[in-house]
Amino acid sequence: MTYKVTEENNISTVFLNGEIDMDVTDKAKEVIIPLIEAGKEVHINLKDVEYMDSSGISVLIESHQMGQEKNTRVVLKEISKSVLKVIMMAKLEQILTIE
């Protein structure tokens, strides 16, 4: 997994790339969680994520819940087809913020 972070109008966008499994979830959390803790609106762009398992889904859930705690928006953007399939299998499409 690789990532890139951009900042624009007080919105941090984290572009994740590659395959997200338990081997890289700590790395993903280290990037995403501090941005949410800082109270920023965080967009997680998933267009280049080719594979995500339950560990990756856990990162999305934790990020969403932390956003609620910190009263800031965590939005999933441009979700790839394979990741959307997994999100829907977990019935999370109504829970997570998807735009």
Rounded least distance, CB 62 to other proteins, Å:
5
Q: Of these, 55, 72, 80, 97, which contacts other proteins (CB under 8 A)?
A: 55
The verdict on 91 binding other proteins (CB under 8 A) reads yes
Contact call for residue 38 and other proteins (CB under 8 A): no
Residue 82's CB is within 10 A of a number of other CB atoms, namely 13
Q: Read off the tokens for 78.
A: 């441009």
The single residue among 7, 23, 30, 93 that binds other proteins, judged by CB under 8 A, is 23
- Do 66 and 35 meet the contact criterion of CB atoms below 8 Å apart? no
Burial bucket for residue 62 (CB in 10 Å: 0-12, 13-18, 19+):
middle
Residue 92 binds to other proteins (criterion: CB under 8 A): yes
Q: Is 57 in the site for other proteins (CB under 8 A)?
A: yes
